[in-house]
Structure 1
């Protein structure tokens, strides 16, 4: 807090308390000033300012020690003159008080002082006086710095965390020299199957894996790049790109090479797979947080594609829409914002309505009509599929109960309810259907569970167990989209499957495409040999209906018969066709 522009201590500081010579007789006012200064616990001095020069009238022992230290360091660094400039600016401003903090380099590192200055009554000559104090804040600032370091860094890997990553980026952008053609990029890295390591080997092994990965990633960086751990198993790299995408892909290659060799954990060799997404800034003025979000959106796509993904325009908007859908869907499920539509299932030989397929529909006040393919995918990704699936099963059973009440007796129809493979993996499907049937007072044979081949392929043993549990409820089982998956045909006869549903991609064009017609005939022949019934989806005209009827197909659905309709219209449609109607 010293400066060589301040005149040496005058005679008023010759008292032994300050260690400065004083050959003059102190006035009563000087005695009062020195008593005041001596009583202050911090460095303090009374200053005067005249003819553009700042002078020390008196100072206490702590201030005198600071002056002696100053004399050992003539011509201190520029930062130490800051307090002189602030005092002069304060005096000229006419304000009553002023507060500011100074920083100087000491023998043990930076030293910080909180300085205050205020006006005193003028001396006997009329000279204005000012009281200056300086409180040592070095310890507090050191503690704050250490706490801030902890807040901005990851305790496990010692890398910057998400907040610290943002500050590191800001610092690089502001304080580094950037060529006019340069841009920056963010490379996001998501460790695949990390949760399996925690589950199989324990959290300590998971921590060891993260530390090892962090070291390997750090070894792949260039000078000036910044590596951070921005999530549980998510890392990110900030890189200056002088050659745009080519530099980014070079870094990606180095990352893949660094993680290519297996890591030894608990005596096991573990290969680290990762999803990588990149985003490049449009200019150095672009908000880094936006670029980070774009990279994270790209890495989500990479997790599905298994390839390195570069952010493309519109991906972030898609991610934001998925987030909006998730938020609104959560509200819709809790507030009854969804509905079921019912598409008739027609017996192709008699024209009789045998049942309906229940299809979820959502018309949101803000998002409008959201297609099922969109909100079901979001539900699966967010974990809402369990709530959505349970709602659909309960609502479909209740709809049949309301139809029975209208008709006065049980309707001779069933309702098909779709099951997601993710829902099957996460929920107790057997108890869900048991509750739905019991709450509605509906017999099990009036409800059919539709599932895709992927739901069985994912875990055949588990699938076999709950499929037989549903059969114990007297429910029927339909395999949806048959022919598009990867099921083992040899296992069909070992599973309690009742119905095969031929995917619409085969049915809708079978009249024009000979190959599709062959596939349909093959499925019908397979089903007959296994004693299974067949439902054909996507019947859009009478010619298709007649052709499938001639081939011996049991049941069909499609726009030729009816589009999905609400609960009341479905009941009226059934009642209108109840008296025998042909195709």
Structure 2
């Protein structure tokens, strides 16, 4: 198309072959856009112009309204060429053009050539590919990348918004038991039910296997997000009906609110996921808190350092004596892990043991503790010129019992250092026993056959079934320090301790009271029938050399208590 060019002296002929090929560049003018005193007028000559969607009737063509002012501005300027993108039509039936206006040496300053490059097929293909990349194929919802784009758009527009992450509970079990097809059907059904609880302007996405994300605008109060979360939880109240199943499904919901400090969509999603993870533990709708993430990062840093400390054998064992309450003589030592990092910082076991259990590091840590305790006991025997006649108590984690061949591990350690199995007391928590009582009973029987003594640690703080307690081969019940500390001033605690002592006597078990700090408390527990005592009255946890020095004056008198 050219501006202010003379009309052709002969009719313009465009071959059918040229039109079928959809040629983008036509060597002859397709139309004239002529400027006169009244403005612009438009004259089209052939069907190619009409096929391009630009029309052939002057007063109805979009050319005049859309490009007239731009052409006029270009002709008034001193530019030789400009390129611009032009969109023609509605969103439903739209065409996209790259428009070029240029002057050549053959054209005067008052004339220019305008060409149109139809980009519609290319743009539609790109949009289709982009839509596939940002859409979940199962549910048709946006995927994580698409959800991120929605959040980015909300951040750009401003206003207050919140991101919610919903995680299905026990979905892996459903998938494993019912099969992937039933799992997919459940996800589709869940998505529909969540959608029904949303407002019209809320956006929803599937951002993971069983995770859904929701973006909502906040009008008045952040409490609106909690109200929506409760509506969703209420929608999960009735069972989900699938083709072959009827399932009750629960979900955990975490919320993260957009703020000036959080300008990244993926970071906002991670915050909501972190809150959803905490919601799995609490059973409540949880909001993201900066402090919680700081704690999580600190735990991760500690996990990394602890892993290196275990690999480099930087931990050590301290030993706290356990004494006979009647004679006051040492009969055993409990081995307790201690950790001082390379910077000289002392880490409390109450901090790093939970991290070790959560990360699985408790398994190599437990192996090291068993081996180190056996090596120390063998060293004491050597220094004493024979059997030093004390036991060593080592704690066994529930995770270690589940993952390790603990009997083989102990037998190997005993053989390596020449220590008899009956010199070891293995302490298990109530949670380790009640988590899988049948399996634990089998393992405990194997340990008993090996010759080890078995103790239940922190008795009374868990949820032990007395029927299990009766049939498990437990030798010692350890009364938790929470019942012992302040016992003399609390009748309820005295009643609890008396009940535990009566139960242990009825079952033929010995007892060890933790947290003894005064002679009066030791005498009272001895009078009630408690067998052993442990606490700062006797000694705090000591390194191996100090523990042996404490042991030696009482070794000879202790022989009868241990045998």
State the SS of the aligned residue for 2:241. strand
The reply on whether 1:382 has 2:359 as its aligned counterpart is yes
Q: In the aligned structure 2, how far is the partner of 1:81 from the partner of 1:402?
A: 99
CA contact (8 A) 2:331 2:558 kept: no
Q: In the aligned structure 2, how far is the partner of 1:441 from the partner of 1:98?
A: 91
Q: In the aligned structure 2, how far is the partner of 1:86 from the partner of 1:440?
A: 96
The reply on whether 1:263 has 2:263 as its aligned counterpart is no
Alignment partner of 1:150 out of 126, 129, 132: 132
Alignment partner of 1:74 out of 61, 66, 70: 61
- After superposition, the Cα gap between the structure-2 partners of 1:66 and 1:458, relative to the gap in structure 1 and judged at 3 Å, is same
1:264-318 C-alpha deviation (Å, 9 max, x unpaired): 3474432111222333345697655454344333323322222223344522222
Shift, 1:328, TM fit: 3.3
State the SS of the aligned residue for 1:480. strand
- After superposition, the Cα gap between the structure-2 partners of 1:64 and 1:261, relative to the gap in structure 1 and judged at 3 Å, is closer
Shift, 1:216, TM fit: 0.8
> After the TM superposition, which residues 407-418 of structure 1 pair with which residues of structure 2 at under 5 Å, given as runs?
407=384, 409-418=386-395
The reply on whether 1:493 has 2:480 as its aligned counterpart is no
Who is 2:401 aligned against?
424
CA contact (8 A) 2:4 2:111 kept: no
- After superposition, the Cα gap between the structure-2 partners of 1:426 and 1:102, relative to the gap in structure 1 and judged at 3 Å, is farther
- After superposition, the Cα gap between the structure-2 partners of 1:316 and 1:124, relative to the gap in structure 1 and judged at 3 Å, is closer
The reply on whether 1:357 has 2:334 as its aligned counterpart is yes
CA contact (8 A) 2:396 2:428 kept: yes
- After superposition, the Cα gap between the structure-2 partners of 1:558 and 1:130, relative to the gap in structure 1 and judged at 3 Å, is farther
Who is 1:561 aligned against?
538
Shift, 1:220, TM fit: 0.7
1:318-343 C-alpha deviation (Å, 9 max, x unpaired): 23223333333334333434333322
The reply on whether 1:252 has 2:229 as its aligned counterpart is yes
> After the TM superposition, which residues 291-310 of structure 1 pair with which residues of structure 2 at under 5 Å, given as runs?
291-310=268-287
Who is 2:3 aligned against?
7
1:161-214 C-alpha deviation (Å, 9 max, x unpaired): 3332221112234348x4xxxx32222222212222123222322222222111
Q: In the aligned structure 1, how far is the partner of 2:254 from the partner of 2:533?
A: 44
What TM-score do the two structures reach when normalised by structure 1? 0.77
Shift, 1:245, TM fit: 3.6
- After superposition, the Cα gap between the structure-2 partners of 1:395 and 1:68, relative to the gap in structure 1 and judged at 3 Å, is same
> After the TM superposition, which residues 87-236 of structure 1 pair with which residues of structure 2 at under 5 Å, given as runs?
109=93, 111=95, 123=105, 138-175=120-157, 178=159, 183-236=160-213
Shift, 1:485, TM fit: 1.7
Alignment partner of 2:441 out of 434, 444, 464: 464
Deviates most, 76-85 or 420-429? 76-85
Q: In the aligned structure 1, how far is the partner of 2:174 from the partner of 2:239?
A: 13
Who is 2:424 aligned against?
447
The alignment yields a C-alpha RMSD, in angstroms, of 4.4
The reply on whether 1:371 has 2:348 as its aligned counterpart is yes
State the SS of the aligned residue for 1:314. helix
Who is 2:493 aligned against?
516
Structure 1 unaligned blocks of 5 or more: 20-40, 48-60
1:205-261 C-alpha deviation (Å, 9 max, x unpaired): 222222211111111110111222233222222211223243223212210221111
Structure 2 unaligned blocks of 5 or more: 16-22, 30-45
State the SS of the aligned residue for 1:222. coil
Who is 1:318 aligned against?
295
1:527-572 C-alpha deviation (Å, 9 max, x unpaired): 1221111111111223222332333322221122222233443344
Q: In the aligned structure 2, how far is the partner of 1:445 from the partner of 1:87?
A: 99
State the SS of the aligned residue for 1:379. helix
Query: Number of residues paired by the alignment?
Result: 537
Deviates most, 408-417 or 456-465? 408-417
Deviates most, 480-489 or 561-570? 561-570
State the SS of the aligned residue for 2:246. strand
1:479-518 C-alpha deviation (Å, 9 max, x unpaired): 0111122212233231100110000011111121122122
CA contact (8 A) 1:453 1:482 kept: yes
CA contact (8 A) 1:123 1:129 kept: no
Q: In the aligned structure 1, how far is the partner of 2:384 from the partner of 2:69?
A: 91
Q: In the aligned structure 2, how far is the partner of 1:195 from the partner of 1:442?
A: 45
CA contact (8 A) 2:338 2:349 kept: yes
What TM-score do the two structures reach when normalised by structure 2? 0.79
Q: In the aligned structure 2, how far is the partner of 1:89 from the partner of 1:321?
A: 66
The reply on whether 1:272 has 2:268 as its aligned counterpart is no
CA contact (8 A) 1:45 1:131 kept: no
Q: In the aligned structure 2, how far is the partner of 1:9 from the partner of 1:108?
A: 35
Deviates most, 363-372 or 539-548? 363-372
The reply on whether 1:397 has 2:374 as its aligned counterpart is yes
